[in-house]
Structure 1
Amino acid sequence: MRLMRLLFPPNPIKTPQTLFTSLRSLSLSSMAIPPPKSAIPSAAADNEAGLARRFWIKFRRESIFALFHPFSLCLASGDLKIESFRSYIAQDAHFLKAFAHAYELAEECADDDDAKLGISELRSAVLQELKMHNSFVQEWGLDAKDISISSAAVKYTEFLLATASGKVEGVKGPGKLATPFERTKVAAYTLGAMTPCMRLYAFIGKEFKALLDPKDDTHPYKKWIDNYSSESFQASAVQTEELLDKLSVSLTGEELDIIEKLYHQAMKLEIEFFSAQSLLQPTVVPLIKEHDSAKDRLMIFSDFDLTCTVVDSSAILAEIAIVTAPKPDQNQSEDQIMRMSSADLRNTWGLLSKQYTEEYEQCIESIIPTKRAEFVYNNLHKALEQLSEFEKKANNRVIESGVLKGLNIEDIKRAGERLILQDGCIDFFKKIIKSDNLNANVHVLSYCWCGDLIRSAFSSGGLHEPNVHANEFTFEESISTGKIVKKVESPIDKVQAFRDIIKSCQSDRKNLTIYIGDSVGDLLCLLEADIGIVIGSSSSLRRVGTQFGVSFVPLFPGLVKKQKECVEGRSSNWKGLTGILYTASSWAEIHAFILGY
């Protein structure tokens, strides 16, 4: 019932951005649910940002996969074997030489003096970077002459130099270009293929730098990290992006599409470049790399509302009820389930929401210790028993109010089909379930009042296999009676369902359990799982967890720490009830951690 507290203010039609927009236009015969504003990047913000910035945001997923790559993780943790670093330096030097040549070709194509000067400055910066690489060779006594260049490095450099030579689909080579403007296009295309690499290294450099202890100079790759996190390199990345924006101002939509494709291709080739680096050591990512389907079982548990979705399911069900309610002058036959009018429903939802919000806050305040306590799972469990009782009473009020009477199962399923899910959520589950190399299953545990809505949402995304554990509507023929078959109403119900599922598994394999959630209702499951991952930014979850001694660790820094432990000889095995939860900002982070690229 936290759903109502979050999403049903006194006038549920005029809700925050997390609710559906323009729902007044819905009809029983044609239910078209537009996406919530929160699911779509702000058009105004996109227009204000430059082309390069928009592309970086659009392909953020690839940058996460690069950051969470085993090679990146070992480098960040400082335990990357020197042999692997030697090979990387050799590959990267080859990479940088291609960059310098591409800048030279781009400078020849640019027809603007300022652009020429900017490109020349960037080329000089690359040459300085090559000198830094030479200093690495001298400092560590590396001999990279005998190291062959990987096919991935060759693939990227050939792609880059082909682009800089004008060998892009639909574009002539520089020697045949008729006008200076056509030559400028090639300069823009070249910057489009180079900008993502510059921004990616600037991003990775800053992420690594944030993990370094300023007083600790023992990190073997501190010089490398200092270079890519430095103000000068960050400025070069910005300058490259600004030049791309400048050179693409006068291009057509079709030409901008070409740049976008080049940008995306460069991002993917960069991840392939990381993947080609030799790693002569154990790593903690991806999690499934040591999975043996004959001996192991991967069990993924997930909440649904606001973990998988951008809108809470109770909001959807309430809006369906309001939109499909009979009009004041519409007669209802005696054999129909009697329903409230639309106006009465709005008013009742408002009253229920107001009462829930006030009492929920009171309940949370009553269970939170005044001072932060040490983590003792049983103490938290006992406190959440009080919240569970509150949630059940709130559900009873909804049932008794009659607001859920008369909903048509087809309308519910249609709403589920149009439900917007978090970016990357479905792809993650599909890859888990459809992988031939994994012995895995997915379970969705939800407070949702109607499991049919969840099943419909997943099925529309091509995912038919997840096991859904939620409450269910009761129906007379295809019309809801307003009653609920209560299965998962509270934190205690959720954790009991979690335990029951694990107990029902055969003991022929070792289970690795992962729970992904976003709210207080998920807290017990998150802690009991071998790995608990919090997605989103629920303030009540943080408040309750923190005061009961739970630690919230951002996922990437947490993995860097785990990698250090792995190398130091301590076990990197995952286990629950440690009081540590990991936080992720997106499903891309979860995907990168568990499955890799």
Structure 2
Amino acid sequence: MNVDFSAGPLTAKLWDRVRPIIEEIEALPFLAQLADGSLDARAFVNYISQDSLYLNGYAKAMSFLAAKTVDRDESRFWAGSAAEAITVEEGMHEELLADSRLANALTELNDEGSRFKASPTTLGYVSFLIATAASRSYGEGVAGVLPCFWVYAHMGKVLVEQAGQMSEDHPYRTWVQTYDSPGFDESTRHAVQILEQELAKAPNEEATRMRAAFEQACVYELHFWASAHAMQNWDASVFLPQDATV
């Protein structure tokens, strides 16, 4: 699936640069199972819970960008996107509780104390985004937050195509369809256009750092999907020999 969200030659080249990472995301079992409805409800609820935590941090990163830019339209865009991220989070909780299959899985995770604890990947991704937006140049901050727009918009098209005609009882039907959103596509194109402009005027060294931030965030996108499916947590025993004692 190839939908062109690039805004010019620089962002087109950047997308080509991360194409191997995107192909790894497209091949994740999590997404194939999400599309065909076979994904375990616990894995989906875990993903939603991690995404809720992520979106809080993502909104903070965009708030830094809104404060940092001298362009009023761009400031409004980032501030509006930050507010939208919080709205999405609230909608997630309502949707989870509306479906008994997901609500039961949510209850199980709550009972285990697994919900609303950021996984190592979630914490790493959020920390990277906030630190980049707060302490690096505006262009680097834009490059860091952009993959969440671009990868999700791209994967929305991939998911809808993979899912095909979903039955009424498909557990993730509504969720899959929300990925393919004209409004989100428009926001993605706006964000990509900002990065195209920033890359065009950036000195070579800064442009290199911007490309590195974009690529790092794409890697985090890959690991975010995969770690949520694997129910990643802070259990250190996975790093120890099986017969080791602590």
Task: Report the TM-score range of the alignment, normalised by the length of the smaller protein.
Answer: 0.7 to 0.9
Q: Following TM superposition, by how much is the alpha carbon of 1:277 offset from its aligned partner in structure 2, in angstroms? A: 1.9
- Cα 1:244–1:48 change in 2 (3 A) is closer
Residue 207 (structure 1) aligns with = 158
RMSD (Å) for aligned C-alpha atoms: 2.1
* AA at the equivalent of 1:68: A
Q: Following TM superposition, by how much is the alpha carbon of 1:51 offset from its aligned partner in structure 2, in angstroms? A: 3.0
- Cα 1:134–1:110 change in 2 (3 A) is same
Residue 44 (structure 1) aligns with = none
Q: Following TM superposition, by how much is the alpha carbon of 1:132 offset from its aligned partner in structure 2, in angstroms? A: 2.4
Q: Following TM superposition, by how much is the alpha carbon of 1:215 offset from its aligned partner in structure 2, in angstroms? A: 6.4
Percent identity of equivalent pairs: 22
* AA at the equivalent of 1:53: A
Residue 126 (structure 1) aligns with = 85
Residue 121 (structure 2) aligns with = 152
Residue 246 (structure 1) aligns with = 197
CA deviations over 1:439-495 (Å, ceiling 9, x no partner): xxxxxxxxxxxxxxxxxxxxxxxxxxxxxxxxxxxxxxxxxxxxxxxxxxxxxxxxx
* AA at the equivalent of 1:76: A
* Distance in 2 (alpha carbons) for counterparts of 1:190 and 1:149: 22
* AA at the equivalent of 1:92: D
Residue 22 (structure 2) aligns with = 63
Unaligned runs of 5+ in 1: 1-46, 169-185, 281-597
Q: Following TM superposition, by how much is the alpha carbon of 1:224 offset from its aligned partner in structure 2, in angstroms? A: 1.4
* AA at the equivalent of 2:118: I
Counterparts of 1:173-572 in structure 2, within 5 Å, are 186-214=137-165, 216-279=167-230
Q: Following TM superposition, by how much is the alpha carbon of 1:77 offset from its aligned partner in structure 2, in angstroms? A: 1.8
Residue 130 (structure 2) aligns with = 161
The answer to whether the Cα contact below 8 Å between 1:208 and 1:225 also exists between their aligned partners in 2 is: yes
Higher relative helix content: 2
* Distance in 2 (alpha carbons) for counterparts of 1:62 and 1:241: 18
* Distance in 2 (alpha carbons) for counterparts of 1:198 and 1:230: 12
TM-score by length of 2: 0.80
* AA at the equivalent of 2:187: S
Q: Following TM superposition, by how much is the alpha carbon of 1:267 offset from its aligned partner in structure 2, in angstroms? A: 0.9
CA deviations over 1:163-216 (Å, ceiling 9, x no partner): 0111x5xxxxxxxxxxxxxxxxx2221110111121111111111112334463
- Cα 1:73–1:213 change in 2 (3 A) is closer
One of 88, 92, 98 as aligned partner of 1:139: 98
| SS state at 2:70 partner | coil
- Max radius of gyration: which structure? 1
- Cα 1:77–1:128 change in 2 (3 A) is same
CA deviations over 1:279-320 (Å, ceiling 9, x no partner): 59xxxxxxxxxxxxxxxxxxxxxxxxxxxxxxxxxxxxxxxx
* AA at the equivalent of 1:137: L
| SS state at 1:277 partner | helix
Higher relative strand content: 1
| SS state at 1:220 partner | coil
* Distance in 1 (alpha carbons) for counterparts of 2:171 and 2:194: 34
| SS state at 1:210 partner | helix
One of 62, 65, 75 as aligned partner of 2:34: 75
Unaligned runs of 5+ in 2: 1-5, 232-246
Counterparts of 1:98-137 in structure 2, within 5 Å, are 98-137=57-96
* Distance in 2 (alpha carbons) for counterparts of 1:69 and 1:187: 32
* Distance in 1 (alpha carbons) for counterparts of 2:80 and 2:138: 15
- Cα 1:53–1:125 change in 2 (3 A) is farther
The answer to whether the Cα contact below 8 Å between 1:56 and 1:196 also exists between their aligned partners in 2 is: no
* Distance in 2 (alpha carbons) for counterparts of 1:117 and 1:92: 24
CA deviations over 1:47-97 (Å, ceiling 9, x no partner): 982433321122111011011112122212211111111111110111111
Aligned length: 216
| SS state at 1:211 partner | helix
The answer to whether the Cα contact below 8 Å between 1:71 and 1:279 also exists between their aligned partners in 2 is: no
